[in-house]
Amino acid sequence: MKVGIIGFGRIGKVHAESLIRYGKDIEIKAISDPFISEESKNWAKANGIKDIYTDYDKILTDKKIDIVLICAPTDKHFIISKEAILKGKHVFCEKPVSHNVKEILEIKKLLEKHDVLYQVGFNRRFDKNFAALKEKVQSGVIGDLNILKITSRDPAPPPISYVKVSGGIFLDMTIHDFDMARYVSGEEVEEVFAFGGVMVDEEIGKAGDIDTAIISLKFKSGVLAVIDNSRKAVYGYDQRVEAFGSKGQILARNELEDTTVIATEDGILSRNPKYFFLERYMQAYTEEIKQFVEAIKTKSKTVCGIDDGLKPVLIGLAAKKSIEENRPVKISEIEKEYGI
């Protein structure tokens, strides 16, 4: 099968590397990016990628290309997804499909009419630690799940130019945690109550966003979840999950720079968590691409489909409404707004 990658910035290259590592009956035939650098061109050529474009339509009209990876900016995800599906391509789209619920629903309707597979890039599902935690929760090791706690803190805030177009912390950052909550619990969120503030960078507040948040989730079964986010953890990329149940708990801790521990009369010292999300989740990026390709080969359902792309956006909109109105918000309120 032949692949075209649309958008060849940092994440596009990550997925290219994943495909190269996977390597089974897969060829990256083309990449496109209107602002592609000479460094990226040279990298592509060195790795056997022959077709390099600035116009992504050349990938969509190439009948030899079976699979399209959408790694372009978020505001392009919907239109490229739509065009790729209409061209009969299997599509992997980085999260989110769109910040606009109506656009996600349009993609869902298109997929019902076209025989192609679609996967949304929520890479944390494929992290070996979180996958193991989910498997243990679902197998009943800790009995009935009662509380899920998710910590997700970035080492440093993004540029203000990015904040202004990100859709806000809930649709940009916490959206991963909303997906993780659904993934680990195997359940749907019923109600959201969010608190937040600007504690890291006042410029983020001036841009109309927050940088620190605690979000409480109530699932339809009664299971509770708490998510805490910060745009700045000085010690590194803080990514932890705890599942607490009637028979015990399961923890997925941070991955450290290394596992050495120094013990002296002054105390015990271990290394910091890995600093950057690419370091932390490279294995997960490779695994999600592998499972997507395997789903195409076996004509089976993708692990993270369009509904999985929709639900976290609905939760994010509920969290945003909760902040604005200082009250719990039911997901049904958001669904009603869009006729779902």
Q: Measuring CA to CA, which residue among 313, 296, 277 is closest to residue 108?
A: 313
Domain check: are 142 and 274 in the same one?
yes
User: Which residue among 116, 149, 172 closes a domain?
Assistant: 116
Written as tens digits, the pLDDT of the chain (340 aa) is 999 999 999 999 999 999 998 877 899 999 999 999 999 999 999 999 999 999 999 999 999 999 999 999 999 999 999 999 999 999 999 999 999 999 999 999 999 999 999 999 999 999 999 999 999 999 999 999 999 999 999 999 999 999 999 999 999 999 999 999 999 999 999 999 999 999 999 999 999 999 999 999 999 999 999 999 999 999 999 999 999 999 999 999 988 888 899 999 999 999 988 887 778 888 999 999 999 999 999 999 999 999 999 999 999 999 999 999 999 999 999 999 999 9
Backbone angles phi, psi at 88, to 5 degrees: 80, 20
Report the relative pairing of strands 51-53 and 67-70 from DSSP bridges: unpaired
Domain check: are 211 and 277 in the same one?
yes
Q: Is residue 303 part of a domain?
A: no
Number of domains, the chain: 2
For the domain that residue 23 is a member of, what is the CATH number? 3.40.50.720
User: Which residue among 116, 150, 172 closes a domain?
Assistant: 116
d(CA 32, CA 35): 9
For the domain that residue 332 is a member of, what is the CATH number? 3.30.360.10
Domain check: are 184 and 330 in the same one?
yes
Q: Measuring CA to CA, which residue among 19, 52, 18, 20 is closest to residue 35?
A: 52
Structural domain boundaries, residue 196: 125-281+311-337
DSSP states along 2-67: EEEEE--SHHHHHHHHHHHHH-SS-EEEEEE-TT--HHHHHHHHHTT--EEES-THHHHT-TT--E
Backbone angles phi, psi at 182, to 5 degrees: -65, -40
